[in-house]
Chain A
Amino acid sequence: MPSPSRLRLVLVVAAALGAVLAAGVVGILRSGGDQASDAATSAPTAPGPAPAEATASSTPPPAPVPDIPVRDSSLAAQPAVDTPAPVALTLPALAVEVPVDPVGIDPDGEMEVPPNADRAGWYRFGPAPGSDRGAAVIAAHVDSVASGGLGPFARLRDLNTGDGAVVTLADGSTATYEVREVTSSPKTDVTWPDVFLRDGPPHLVLVTCGGRWLPDVRHYSDNVIVYLSPVEP
């Protein structure tokens, strides 16, 4: 009867021999062609790259790996990137329904905003509401000369966590959100690249102005920014 330590040694040696044998079989199988290579990948090996020690010796089993995406590069085969544009925003808690226009960049490099506070603008260079990643940004004037008064976004700061929002898209579908956070920050403190996110979890951002009116520069001191998370309708 071998001692426990000796037994352990025997087992280790046996396991090593088994591993070498398996590697040899796999090598033969791989040289045999595709079916063999499939068989090798289905062998009960741990996923991921083989350890460095194994790669130094003969042919180890290949790790299971995903396919490389291959696509037709012709112009006609380009994927359509257009998700439907938003056309309206509804905030039931505030009894607000506001039409939404696609907008871009103004000559100062700031987000273009519809001149009339009764309309909101969607930043068309970023994600659309309902897309699978990043921030869809919709902004409106808090007040405007064109509307002659306050607009519906003047009440954004009255939203509460959990309040709902529904965005209607050009194809008639809707994207539904609920308020996660209502913030008001000095404009000088807002880091816009952290608001206009292209990637990360999908969400909706509503923006207007708030704080104090600064008559010298004719704009407000703050931005009111509301972050909303998607929910199932």
Chain B
Amino acid sequence: MRTRLLAGSAAGFTLALAGALPAAAVTDDKASLSVLHGVPGLTVDVYVNGERTLDDFAPGDLAGPLELDPGTYTVAITASDAADDSSPAIGPVDLPLEGGMSYTAAAHLDADGNPTATLFTNDIATTAAGEGRLTVRHVAAAPAVDVLAGGSAVVTNLANPDEAKLDLPAGTVSAAVAATGTTDPVIGPADVTVSDGVNTIVYAWGSLADENLALAVQTVDTHSSAPAGVPTGQLGLADESATSSAWLLAGVVTIGLAGAALVLRRRTAVVRSGSNQH
């Protein structure tokens, strides 16, 4: 296997590696690019700006992320035994990449089963604390589909090569894919993890006619949110404006009183809110 990146030569094409982690934070001055191979039965080489960048890239493989200088990159995909990119199986396609953005270039089948390539922009906008993002992409040779979560449709009529996305509380989603208007899964159900601050991208790829539909999964860090605060006190016993040990001792004694006061205050509040309605 020669999965080597050849860089810096005639085309002036230079790459720097962001890191080997599957989900890496995107920096503002670089474009992050991953490449998904979603064409069944075809092992390929990937050329970027004329340089063979991925060798013997197999169906279902995900490469990257790469941190690239912003700019337009020309990608061509050839059979794995090609000497160069002069007769590509897919492309060449121009990928305009902006800094601070995350992209996935997918080689896949169109709805009719012909090889094609699509550049997706991965949504890394801020997710709320405790939430993650689920993105579903239809890159399979199949008609439009519905995406089912927990048995009910959360995305309807998704066609190749479109995507749908939604933010969800972090957790595990039981996801399935069915022909639009039906609930009988053609893929899944499968458990998909949605993590806080992560965009989990699920691809439906392969061919319905050839009965090799499958899911591919990619994770991209979003800009995550912190909790709005940490509320860690209820009684006032640790009040530093009266930090004498006498107060602390008294505080222990007055716990019962404090509790009673809380109850009283709540009752008062209830009475007040009740009286406001009159």
Contact = CB atoms under 8 A, between A and B. Distances in A.
Contacts of B57: 70
Contacts of B129: 105, 109, 125
Given A68-B17, A145-B262, A213-B236, A49 B8 contact: yes
Nearest to A51: B8
Interface in A94-131: 104-106, 108-111, 113, 117, 123, 125-126
The secondary structure that dominates the B interface is loop
A60 interface: yes
Interface stretch (A83-91, A166-174, A204-212): A204-212
Contacts of B217: 73-75, 78
Interface string A33-76: 01001000000000011101001000110110111111111110
B28 interface: no
A193 interface: yes
B10 A213 contact: no
B237 A109 contact: no
A177 interface: no
Contacts of B227: 105, 109-111, 123, 192, 196
Nearest to B171: A104
A68 B238 contact: no
A204 to B, nearest CB: 15
Contact of B6 (A65, A78, A139, A198): A65
A65 B15 contact: yes
Interface size class of B (residues with CB under 8 A): 35 or more
A223 interface: yes
A69 B63 contact: yes
B130 A154 contact: no
B228 A110 contact: yes
A145 B230 CA distance: 17
Interface string B47-81: 00000011001001111101000000000000000
A142 B217 CA distance: 43
B79 to A, nearest CB: 17
A63 B8 contact: yes
Interface string B207-246: 0000000111110010011111111111111111100000
6 contacts: A62-B8, A65-B8, A75-B191, A110-B229, A210-B240, A212-B240
Given A73-B36, A209-B233, 7 more contacts: A66-B5, A68-B54, A68-B63, A190-B229, A192-B229, A198-B25, A209-B231
